Amino acid sequence: MRGATSREPLHVAGEQIYPLQSLSLPEPSTDAEAVGRSEAVQLFVERARRQLPDFELTTARASAVANLCVHLDGIPLALELAAARVRSLSIEQINARLNDRFKLLTSGMRAALPRQQTLRATLDWSFDLLGEQERVVLRRLAVFPGGFTLEAASAVASNAVIDQFAVIDLLSQLVARSLVIADTADAGTRYRLLETTRAYALEKLIEAEETDGIRRRHAQYFREMFEDANDDWMRIPEAEWRAAYAPELDNVRAALDWALGAGAASAIGIGLVGGSGSIWLELPLRIEGRRRLEAAIARADAQTPEPDRARLWLWLGLLSRPTPAEAVAALEQASKLYRRMGDFSGAGFSLMQLAAELTYMGRFEQAMPIFAEAFPLLERTGSPKLMAEYFLALGTLKALTGDLASARLDYEKAASLCEKTGAERLETNWMTGDLDAALAGYREAVMLARKSPVARRIALGAGLTNLAGVHTERGELCEALLAAREGLPLRNEGGFAWVTLDHLALRAALAGKTANAARLAGHADYLFAANESARQPNEARSRERLQGLLIENFSPGELERLLEEGAQMSEDEACRMALEE
């Protein structure tokens, strides 16, 4: 038996193909031990020690080394060439220069074959072996930073000479030559270029003077693809929606950066920002989504179609929490536009969200008639998911106004509808006192968030702090603290730590730290007031139970002093206090 390596099959008798994979890559982490388990990191560290014998994978270096190995796709040659630079550059400096990776990673290994002496030479050699149409398609595929489907490749890489069917054949040839990677899963096949190959192909795209034209086609493709994303988000199960749209996040980002930046294609960018509103909310990436929506609104003018403007205001309102006054202003603008267009689905959804926001602000009398106005409009959509959200929001209003019996009925309606859509019932279970179901559900949510490749920090933080709240209500204080210690810092990153403090203050009181519990309560009271927000039922229940414990332990004067001390704390101080034993 003889072995040989090649970028493509040789098509000889008896040939058996074994794909050679890149080295395993690390997960983003500052934990040196976790990062060091990656094969790519192990090779890099070993080669770096040949340059600097005292080179160690420390906690301070772990994140930068992990990023470097990911950006170099775990390719052994690239890692060796990068490691050769540690004598003169820090890891951070190497990372910062990867945009010009071919100049940076020039090898000094004189014994190597000429085509192996640099990454550029290796890719030049591969590129020179391609036919002209293969070269054209490869360089055009470089505009996809997040991978792509067959349909996307056909739409973006084709032209009058290379039609969409030809692109399919040429893509297959590029896969066979190992210049494009095909990742096959249950949801279908996605294709991608290794980052080093993509950087090289982008240079070829620039040399061909095709950059703006192909980036425009890329942006237009995703603008059209995401035209239905928001409606699908309201209509289909979450898992199905994520499978269809979440993998395109990096492509959406690149398209928006070009359209609202150097490409000056405002109409495409504005349409895509509004069309992709659900992706920023669902993943969740609220801060980034809000920034992009505000940039698009600033570009909108009298020529911007009214449906596009309505979507911008709607999603800005949804992403403006936890700043309720700004959310209300945006949702009022959206509902006005949808009404004027006669769009009952958009009007019903924006009115429901407006009523929910007014509820969070404690403006119950204003919220109730808006809920009533939204109901027939939402009912006409036939969407169980939207109706579940409606009854959950309406039930929250009723719970906050003391109508608990009616609120429970609305929560049960929401739970029944959630079963039809596959949406999570966690909030409903917790609100209605089904703590066993809530605990199991949040544990599953945390497990899924740990596995999620997208926005896992925010989703994981929310799941863990909710889990801490349920554990507290069950009297499981050690378990609550463990969940909070991991989850609260993640929630703090997104600006939502304050909404969890009622549960953690109650945990502190039950653990005997009543003075700190009072301070945390004071801090939470201050932030709910500053954000013009009313507590939702789960938080209100924890705060009410906590108040009883505080009254038992302190005189009115002592309690007032402790609450005021808490109001004066910074949010970081409050978070540290909440995580004490």
Q: Are residues 371 and 260 part of one domain? A: yes
Q: What is this structure's pTM?
A: 0.75
Q: Are residues 242 and 202 part of one domain? A: no
Q: Are residues 365 and 239 part of one domain? A: yes
Nearest to 202 by CA among 142, 252, 137: 142
C-alpha span between 451 and 435 (Å, rounded): 24
Provide mean pLDDT across the span 201-209: 95
pLDDT at 309 over 80: yes
Q: Are residues 138 and 116 part of one domain? A: no
Residue 431 lies in a domain: no
Q: Are residues 163 and 47 part of one domain? A: no
List the CATH number of the domain containing 194. 1.10.10.10
Q: Are residues 150 and 67 part of one domain? A: no
Beta bridge partners of 185: 188
Sign, CA dihedral 491-492-495-500, equals positive
Q: Which of 159-163, 353-357, 380-384, 448-452 reaches the highest mean pLDDT?
A: 353-357
Asked which of 174-188, 353-367, 547-561 is least confident by mean pLDDT, the reply is 174-188
Strands (E) across 71-127 are located at none
pLDDT higher at 440 or 18: 440
Q: Are residues 111 and 20 part of one domain? A: yes
Question: What is the amino acid identity at position 575?
Answer: C
What values do phi and psi take at 21, rounded to 5?
Answer: -95, 155
Q: Are residues 467 and 572 part of one domain? A: yes
3-class secondary structure per residue, 295-313: HHHHHCCCCCCHHHHHHHH
Strands (E) across 500-573 are located at none
pLDDT higher at 142 or 1: 142
Question: How confident is the model over 119-159, as pLDDT tens digits?
Answer: 677 788 888 889 999 999 999 999 999 899 999 999 999 99
Question: How confident is the model over 252-268, as pLDDT tens digits?
Answer: 999 999 999 976 789 99
C-alpha span between 467 and 269 (Å, rounded): 39
C-alpha span between 180 and 91 (Å, rounded): 28
* Number of independent structural domains in the chain: 4
Nearest to 69 by CA among 248, 203, 180, 196: 196
Which of 380, 405, 425 is the C-terminal boundary of a domain? 380
Cis peptide before 284 (omega within 30 of 0): yes
Distance of CA 430 to the CA centre of its chain: 25
List the CATH number of the domain containing 256. 1.25.40.10
Asked which of 15-24, 198-207, 347-356 is least confident by mean pLDDT, the reply is 15-24
Q: Are residues 2 and 66 part of one domain? A: yes
Confidence of residue 101 (pLDDT cuts 50, 70, 90): low
Confidence of residue 16 (pLDDT cuts 50, 70, 90): low
C-alpha span between 326 and 348 (Å, rounded): 20
Residue 215 lies in a domain: no
The residue segments making up the domain with residue 293 are: 225-380
Residue 467 lies in a domain: yes
What pLDDT, on the 0 to 100 scale, is given for residue 294? 95
pLDDT higher at 537 or 328: 328
C-alpha span between 114 and 288 (Å, rounded): 45
C-alpha span between 97 and 71 (Å, rounded): 11
Beta bridge partners of 190: 183
Question: What is the amino acid identity at position 222?
Answer: F
C-alpha span between 90 and 96 (Å, rounded): 10
pLDDT at 451 over 80: no
Residue 480 lies in a domain: yes
Q: Are residues 352 and 229 part of one domain? A: yes
Confidence of residue 112 (pLDDT cuts 50, 70, 90): very low
Q: Are residues 150 and 139 part of one domain? A: yes
Rounded to 10 deg, the angle between the 286-299 and 266-275 helix axes is 140
Q: Are residues 273 and 342 part of one domain? A: yes
C-alpha span between 313 and 330 (Å, rounded): 5
